[in-house]
Amino acid sequence: MIQDMAIGLGLAVNLFFTEILGLPSGGFIVPGYLALYLHRPIRLASTYAVAFLTWAFVRFVLGKLLILYGRRSFALCLLSGFLISLISERLLLLFPGITLEFQPIGHLIPGLLASGMLSEGILRTSLVSLLGAAIVRIILVLLGFAGL
């Protein structure tokens, strides 16, 4: 129930940011998912780290081999983010002292963020997505979902 509400609110907040303010937040579902993890900063940091690695890989490796634009760029960000996220999860399993708290949020969120970073810039995408997540989180608390 709370995930559905967070995703729905995230869609509305992202639509407002994009259409009214002209500030895309890295993907329509990103603010809602991030809002669910604002109380877990290590997972947020891991997600942004994977998104940054994805951005760097797509921009500096794939960008040298392919012409990146539109759907191709978006699809390569999603695929690369998915693979980097999976690899990072598998690497975490090699170190027993490290908890799963270090794994990124989902497998698609880093790729969506990386796609936004490619088109809007790293800082802008990061700040707007976190602002959107904070707004979604505040609305959830005001609606009575305080036990996040």
Overall number of domains in the chain: 1
In a domain, 148, yes or no: no
Distance CA 81, CA 75 (A): 10
What confidence score (pLDDT) does residue 59 get? Answer: 96
In a domain, 127, yes or no: yes
Q: pLDDT tens digit string along 3-60?
A: 999 999 999 999 999 998 888 888 889 999 999 999 999 999 999 999 999 999 999 9
Q: pLDDT tens digit string along 50-106?
A: 999 999 999 999 999 988 888 999 999 999 999 999 999 998 888 877 777 889 999
Show Cβ contacts of residue 121 under 8 Å, excluding neighbours closer than 6 positions: none
**Could you say which DSSP state residue 144 is in?**
T
Distance CA 23, CA 34 (A): 17
What confidence score (pLDDT) does residue 148 get? Answer: 61
Distance CA 102, CA 43 (A): 5
What confidence score (pLDDT) does residue 147 get? Answer: 66
In a domain, 88, yes or no: yes
Domain limits for position 135: 2-142
Hey, CA dihedral for 74, 72, 84, 82, is it positive or negative?
positive
| Closest to 23 measured CA to CA, from 138, 133, 125, 139 | 125
Hey, CA dihedral for 34, 39, 45, 50, is it positive or negative?
negative
* pLDDT exceeds cutoff 70 at 146: no
Distance CA 55, CA 12 (A): 26
What confidence score (pLDDT) does residue 99 get? Answer: 74
What confidence score (pLDDT) does residue 40 get? Answer: 94
**Radius of gyration for the alpha carbons in the chain, expressed in angstroms and rounded:** 15
